[in-house]
């Protein structure tokens, strides 16, 4: 039986992955140069491209026309 927390969607590649293949990087959320909270970025911990992109990823800079860039690729 699959429950809601057996898989997670990677914020970088957009793929749904098993819980053990997803890690979370917590970073400050910076808007207009000010820290205004935290963002939890889920990424594939077994894919070097996701690991590297997670280091630079920010929800505030990834949105264009209301659509997150990482979900367009």
**What pTM was estimated for this model as a whole?**
0.73
4-60 pLDDT per residue, tens: 679 999 999 999 999 999 999 999 988 888 888 999 999 999 999 999 999 999 887
Burial label for 51, CB within 10 Å (0-12, 13-18, 19+), is: middle
Is it the case that residue 69 has pLDDT exceeding 80? no
SS3 43: strand
């Amino acid at each position: 039986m699959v429950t809601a927390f057996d898989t997670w969607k990677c914020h970088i590649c957009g793929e749904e992955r098993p819980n053990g293949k997803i890690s979370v990087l917590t970073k400050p959320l910076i808007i207009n140069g000010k820290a205004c909270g935290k963002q939890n970025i889920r990424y594939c911990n077994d894919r070097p491209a996701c690991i590297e992109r997670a280091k630079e990823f920010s929800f505030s800079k990834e949105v264009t026309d209301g659509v997150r860039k990482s979900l367009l690729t």
